[in-house]
A and B are shown apart, each in its own frame.
Chain A
Amino acid sequence: MTQAFKRLRGLAGAVMVLAVTSLLIFVLIDAAPGDPAEIMLGTSAQADTLAALRTELGLDRPLMVRYLGWLAGVFTGDLGQSYTYGVPVAGLIGERMLVTLPLTLMATVLAVAVSLPLGVMAAARPGKAGDGLASLFSQVGIAVPNFWIGLLLILGFALNLTWFPVGGFPGWGDGFWAALWSLVLPAIALAIPQAAVLTRVTRAAVIEVTNEDFIRTARAKGLSRRRALWRHTVPNSLLPVVTMLGLQIPFLISGAVLVENVFSLPGIGTLAYQALSQRDLIVVQNVVLLFAVIVLAVNAGTDALYARLDPRLRARK
């Protein structure tokens, strides 16, 4: 089988997965109770006004036509109008992403910054005090819910010490640092379980690579233990770590929904959650699709990153 064909099949597979995913979302949302026209106009609206709005929204068209219309909109950036906010959904999502994206990014950076040195330190001296500390951190970190960490952080650092705001987001317009500051506690809450998982994976990967022959070669060249560790062992241990980063994305997204709720951040998770309780289904539909696309895209991106980290895989692509 030629490589070009394989690549094409991979791409076709991804498109199929996206198509099925979006159809699934559309059908489920369509079957959900709640008439958009009634939600927009209120229960007291006249029957003929409702009918007119339904026609205007195109709700009287067949399911497949509406589905394809939605997909076309996704590609042109027209996701429809929110039933409750009365503004374009695309703008709404874009605005909320300005909170969620920095939050998840900050959490990921924090998680990597903590877990990489911790995991490497644990692996460098297995069974020693540092290793014990790292394994305690990863066991506990995996077990604690991030929204609970969020509550504890608020209790300690916002209510008792008053270093941070209890919640809310001032917006990027009112000063960059104040906005960033308000994301610190949520990012920590989101990062701890991620860091716990990554510490564990890093430790195992580094231990495995440490026993490889080429580490001995590096040492025989005169590299100190430390230098061999960072120049030869760690770069070769990153593959499983990157895999895990990719696999953690669904949990990062779930976590963001929860943590945004705890800290009353106007992010995309809060948007989805509020839209659900107000039955603003068009928002729910688009947000869920966005999340699904992110998960799938990150998975594809992880595969691409593999090849960069392990030259051996490039040949197989």
Chain B
Amino acid sequence: MTRLPKSLIIGAIITAIMVGAALLSRVWTPADPTGMNIVARLKPPGAAGLFGTDQIGRDVLSIIMAGAWTSLGIAVVATVIGGGIGTLLGVTAAAKGGRLERLVMSFNGVLFAFPPILSAILLGALLGPGALTSIIAIGIFMVPVFARVTRAAAIQIWARDYINAARMAGKGDARITMEHVLPNISAQIIVQLAIQTGLGILSEAGLSFLGMGVSPPTPSWGRMLSESQTFLDAAPHLVLAPGLAIAITVLGLNLLGDGLRDLTDPRRGQNG
């Protein structure tokens, strides 16, 4: 039994804590994340609640927990949908080659020109802000990322001898892709899912910081930061808590992705 990479263990623990907090917030938080209390406003950490209170007296820890659900939820859904479409495009391009492959890669080029914030500005004009806009905007950018990675990986698999053997046996492109290509590139896909979910969290935070994410009163880390700007001097804890929550979650997912990569591809172990 080989030893698990350190980054995998740390990343898995951080991710588990964040996911746990997000799930827990659905049934229990220390206080009501939407409950105002003007008397206890802008209290520093410890004075009221573990992380203090915000400008209208809400418990910061509770909003952070509820915000984890929003951030992780949007990032995961966007990554899975965008990643799924991208993977489909990538493996199809690798299987068919030729004109279709060029078309897919050009399409990729178009999508790549739309980073999440840009798509959100465009979609925001059409749909207005909200969870759906965030998911589509983030998901769109995942498509070319996954298409690129899976196509490169799938092309390598297609060059192997056993693919020829499968072809000789009369199996079609789709069947070979399902039976041989996808299982062999699944490790790379999982690694990307972890890392891109991290990027999704950063994007979601950016969108809600600009007011293009979920609408109030749904708690969100990005909007907490946006609101904290007004009280930067008076209540710096309002800046620290959501920023740390974002950074630690993304760090955890990145470490998890790196660790998984080291585990599945020992040659790249030195990149940890």
| Interface set of A (CB-CB < 8 Å, partner B) | 13, 16-17, 20-21, 24-25, 28-29, 31-34, 126, 135, 139-140, 142-145, 147-148, 151-152, 154-155, 159, 200, 204, 207, 250-251, 253-254, 257-258, 261-262, 272-273, 276-277, 279, 281, 284, 287-288, 291-293, 295-296, 299
Contacts and interface: CB of A to CB of B under 8 A. Distances in A.
A274 to B, nearest CB: 11
Nearest to A280: B125
Interface stretch (B23-31, B41-49, B112-120, B185-193): B112-120
B172 interface: no
Given A21-B113, A139-B255, A258-B206, A148 B106 contact: no
List the 10 closest pairs (A to B, CB-CB), nearest first.
A250-B115, A148-B243, A292-B113, A143-B250, A143-B251, A254-B117, A32-B125, A295-B113, A254-B115, A144-B247
Interface string B200-231: 00110110011110000000000001001100
Given A29-B122, A296-B109, A142 B236 contact: no
The B interface, classified by DSSP as helix, strand, loop or mixed, is helix
Contacts of B206: 145, 147, 254, 258
Given A151-B229, A261-B210, A284 B121 contact: yes
Contact of B251 (A139, A257, A261): A139
A21 B112 CA distance: 10
21 contacts: A21-B113, A28-B126, A139-B254, A142-B254, A143-B246, A144-B243, A145-B243, A148-B239, A148-B243, A155-B232, A250-B141, A251-B115, A253-B117, A254-B118, A258-B117, A272-B121, A279-B125, A284-B121, A291-B115, A295-B115, A296-B113
Contacts of A20: 106-107, 110
A257 B122 contact: no
Given A13-B102, A155-B232, A273-B210, A145 B202 contact: yes
B117 A151 contact: no
Contacts of A258: 117, 206, 209-210
Contact of A126 (B117, B203, B270): B270
Given A258-B209, A291-B118, A299-B112, A144 B232 contact: no
A12 to B, nearest CB: 10
A16 B225 contact: no
Nearest to A148: B243
Interface of B: 102, 106-107, 109-110, 112-118, 121-126, 141, 198, 202-203, 205-206, 209-212, 225, 228-229, 232-233, 236, 239, 242-243, 246-248, 250-251, 254-255, 270-272
Contacts of B212: 276
Nearest to B233: A159
Contact of A299 (B109, B203, B251): B109
B115 A253 contact: yes
A288 B116 CA distance: 12
B116 to A, nearest CB: 6
B234 to A, nearest CB: 10
Given A28-B125, A148-B243, A253-B118, 10 more contacts: A20-B110, A143-B251, A145-B247, A148-B242, A257-B210, A272-B121, A273-B210, A281-B125, A291-B118, A292-B113
A148 B102 contact: no
Contacts of A32: 125-126
Contacts of A253: 115, 117-118
A152 B243 CA distance: 9
A139 B256 CA distance: 12
Nearest to A289: B113
Contact of B123 (A28, A135, A152, A293): A28
A151 B113 contact: no
Contacts of B107: 20
- Could you say which of B121, B236, B248 has the most chain A C-beta atoms within 10 Å of its C-beta? B121
Contacts of B198: 143
Nearest to A253: B115
B82 to A, nearest CB: 14
A276 B133 CA distance: 14
A23 B250 CA distance: 35
A143 B254 contact: yes
Contacts of A25: 122
Given A32-B126, A279-B125, A145 B205 contact: yes
Contacts of A200: 271
A25 B209 CA distance: 24
B169 to A, nearest CB: 33
Given A17-B110, A24-B110, A143-B198, A151 B232 contact: yes
A288 B112 CA distance: 13
A159 B235 CA distance: 12
A226 B114 CA distance: 42
A21 B110 contact: yes
